[in-house]
Amino acid sequence: MNYTEMSKKELLALQEQYRHEYYVFKSRGLKLDMSRGKPSDGQIKEALGILDVLDSKADYVSDSGINCLNYGCLDGLPECKQLFSEILGVPAEKFFIGGNSSLALMFDYVLQCYTFGASEKSEPWSKQGKVKFLCPVPGYDRHFGIAEYMGIEMINVPMTADGPDMDRVESLVRDPLVKGMFCVPKYSNPTGITYSDETVRRLASMHTAADDFRIIWDNAYCVHDLFGREDKLLELLAECEKCGNPSRAVLFASTSKISFSGCGIAALAANEENLAYIKKRYSFQTIGYDKYNQLRHVKYFKDLDGVKRHMSLLSQIISPRFEVVLKAFESELGGTGIASWTNPNGGYFISYDVLPGCAHKVYDLCAEAGVTLTPCGATYPYGKDPEDKNIRIAPTFPTLEELSDATEILILSTKLVAIEKILHDRDLSLIHI
């Protein structure tokens, strides 16, 4: 039953019941963490074979004839580029292979544009005034951190079922100081939404006042399907070329949640002009990233089929965790009118909305009962959720038992805070009358 339709007597009775259940959980002294999208130990163990592919007796020369223990090969092994090409559907020659962090590649790229310009011909963003970035919200906190660190103003763009509100985006890019946009296009962090074909085409074709406008296309969850379902994503670089905007986007990805989050492989892809400019900068930073790690990943996965087989195993570990959370939400909160959530087909997160003005109170109650959540506001620029309602749920790391307890505490906290708000709002309404 919808809580807003209940009588005061009914709400007070529920409040007493939920308080008792909450304090039972609190008395257990639990320490549960649902704060970050970390792979579980089970996921990591499924990839341990990567470490056995090469040893001191193995051939450390790649099939392309590159000594993986020596200097050289600035942009990565051809075999590794080919693997990413198959994963992302982008020609191999468009790739640059980095270290273990796509976030580091993104930071470096935005810093390059800010300090030196987006191309050889363009002026540094830092010299053009107070430049701005568009930020789909709720979104990824570490994207926002990059912009905030560099003093780039961030503008919220609401997410829809098809991706960012494109009417809003197309209006905002008429400002020449709007220089870029962060996107997690497939199984977006935290909503799990995949951008529609129309959204991708509009991003590729829209008119921007700034010639040096760049889309940071963070395709972190490109093969992270759940429940045997797969969302399809149109390839942005190809669409940009079709529309006469070949330099508009730079794509980023990694194996952080495929192999190892701590020692995977990151990559970026771009058109010829952007790639040449990026490689010129990297030629002063490194003589080449870890080719040995690239080699063992290639030898282990071999091709896209190998990646898909591995991801199917990971899905068997991750999907039940999402089911625990989603089934509990539907059973305990469905029809109550006090919470809503996304039901993603893949990725690492669930976006959870409580009543406006309640997220911090829910967070605090969970913390008191031993559950660590992603801090409120993290899914918005500057850590400020204007409605104080969104919480990012990360089900991957805890065990199923831990996850069940943590979800129950979250649900109880949501109910208690919602009842308090409804009763408070009614009293204020009566006073106002």
Specify the pLDDT at position 427: 84
51 pLDDT higher than 70:
yes
Q: Please compute the mean of the pLDDT values over residues 398-417 and round it to a whole number.
A: 97
b/e map of 252-266 (b: 16 or more CB within 10 Å)? Answer: bbbbbbbbbbeebbb
Burial grade of 128 (CB within 10 A; 0-12, 13-18, 19 or more): middle
The structure tokens listed for 23 are: 């304090």
Beta strands at 178-183 and 132-137: parallel, antiparallel or unpaired: parallel
Please check whether residue 99 is in contact with residue 106, taking contact to mean a CB–CB distance below 8 angstroms: no
pLDDT bucket at 433, cuts 50 / 70 / 90: very low
Q: Please compute the mean of the pLDDT values over residues 240-264 and round it to a whole number.
A: 97
Alpha helices by DSSP H, listed for 270-303, are 272-285, 291-301
Q: Please compute the mean of the pLDDT values over residues 21-27 and round it to a whole number.
A: 96
390 pLDDT higher than 70:
yes
428 pLDDT higher than 70:
no
| Class level of CATH domain 61-301 | alpha beta
Give the alpha-carbon dihedral of 168, 170, 176, 182, to 10 degrees: 70
- Cis status, amide bond into 176, omega within 30 of 0: no
User: The whole model's pTM is what?
Assistant: 0.95
- Name the 3-class secondary structure at 373: strand
Main-chain phi, psi angles of 85, to 5 degrees? -60, -45
pLDDT bucket at 356, cuts 50 / 70 / 90: very high
pLDDT bucket at 14, cuts 50 / 70 / 90: very high
277 pLDDT higher than 80:
yes
How far is residue 228 CA from its own chain's centroid? 20
388 pLDDT higher than 60:
yes
pLDDT bucket at 430, cuts 50 / 70 / 90: low
Q: What is the pLDDT of residues 78-134, one digit of tens each?
A: 999 999 999 999 999 999 999 999 999 999 999 999 999 999 999 999 999 999 999
Q: What is the pLDDT of residues 214-238, one digit of tens each?
A: 999 999 999 999 999 999 999 999 9
Specify the pLDDT at position 128: 97
Specify the pLDDT at position 1: 84
- Tell me where in the chain the CATH 3.40.640.10 domain(s) lie: 61-301
- Distance, CA of 240 to CA of 237 (rounded, Å): 5
- Name the 3-class secondary structure at 31: coil
pLDDT bucket at 371, cuts 50 / 70 / 90: very high
- Distance, CA of 216 to CA of 306 (rounded, Å): 28
How far is residue 101 CA from its own chain's centroid? 14
Specify the pLDDT at position 429: 62
426 pLDDT higher than 70:
yes
* Lowest-pLDDT choice from 52-56, 249-253, 318-322, 412-416: 52-56
Specify the pLDDT at position 65: 94
Specify the pLDDT at position 252: 98
What percent of the chain clears pLDDT 90, i.e. is strictly above it? 96
- Distance, CA of 156 to CA of 137 (rounded, Å): 6
- Distance, CA of 215 to CA of 213 (rounded, Å): 7
Q: What is the pLDDT of residues 60-80, one digit of tens each?
A: 999 999 999 999 999 999 999
- Distance, CA of 111 to CA of 335 (rounded, Å): 47
Domain 3-43+308-426: give its CATH superfamily: Aspartate Aminotransferase, domain 1 (3.90.1150.10)
* DSSP letters for 214-273: EEEEE-TTTT-BBTTB------HHHHHHHTT-TTSEEEEEESTTTS-SSS--EEEE--HH
What percent of the chain clears pLDDT 70, i.e. is strictly above it? 99
- Name the 3-class secondary structure at 3: helix
- Tell me where in the chain the CATH 3.90.1150.10 domain(s) lie: 3-43+308-426
